[in-house]
Amino acid sequence: MKAIITATELAHDLTGANPPVLLDVRWQLSMAKAAGAPAFDGRAEYAAGHLPGAVFVDLDAELASAPGERGRHPLPDLKEFGAAMRRAGVSPGRPVVVYDGGQGWAAARAWWLLRWTGHPDVRVLDGGLPAWEGTLSTDVPAPAQGDFEPVPGPGGLLDADAAAALARSGVLLDARAAERYRGDVEPIDRVGGHIPGAVSAPTTENVTADGRFLPAEELRARFKNLGATQDAEVGVYCGSGVSAAHEALALAVAGIPAALYVGSWSEWSSDPSRPVATGPDPQ
């Protein structure tokens, strides 16, 4: 199954006998609130115009639980997540296409959660909303109730201890910006740096200037240079398990399975007893 879909492919599939459920997950990491400015409002963006038939999904409320010791975007309560997906019309027998405002991070978080909990056919719109050339709608749909029941599969998820072990035994990729990996700056978390042994792999380098993923062969070459191949045990993390989901999606496009450390640096760095590495070298 492909992990991403082009706008042209999506337009075709929407006219088919089993059109996909569309989920709009517009969200972005913003420091505006800390500066006293209004925070990004994905629901307002959705209300101003979305793909016809798309249902808005709130990343903070439906794809994560409340911030705390497990990080800024811990796993959601699976009963609540399942209820949110069913309200959106999600069923295992119908494909799902997820999109966001173009960055791809939020859409990837929804993709990862649905795949990890057993949905067999989920794709992300490559390039997000800006890639869509069709009309937009302001109508709020009322989809028929879905029957998706999330059941986590074996593997695919890392906790802090497993992430630390994987950094020694396999390949643990850090999807954040390189300056945060090195510890040069840390605008959000308690301390800067990275998990010892993790390799810097900013997820922004997986896409072109318009937010579309690089071709699969280019992604495979990039990840091979970082030590991540189909034969390696690979994991990813970021600040709070959102941009790392985008890296996991890029790895999937390249044909490389990867596990996600959802707590990521926001959980790791909150515990002063955990080691922190700084600088460009993994150790």
| Cβ(262)–Cβ(241) below 8 Å | yes
Alpha carbon distance 114, 81 (integer Å)? 9
Please provide the average confidence, as pLDDT, over all residues in the chain: 95
Are the CB atoms for 40 and 128 separated by under 8 Å? Answer: no
- Catalytic residue list: 238
Helix residue ranges per DSSP H, the chain: 7-13, 42-48, 59-62, 78-87, 105-116, 160-169, 178-182, 216-225, 243-253, 264-268
Nearest Cα neighbor of 107 from 223, 187, 203 is 203
Q: Which of 266, 247, 256, 209 is nearest to 109 (CA)?
A: 247
Q: What's this model's pTM, rounded to 2 decimal places?
A: 0.95
Model confidence pLDDT, tens digit, residues 130-149: 999 999 999 999 999 999 99
pLDDT digits (tens, 9 = 90+) for 192-247: 999 999 999 999 999 999 999 999 999 999 999 999 999 999 999 999 999 999 99
The Cα 139–Cα 267 span in angstroms is: 39
CB 100 within 8 A of CB 106: yes
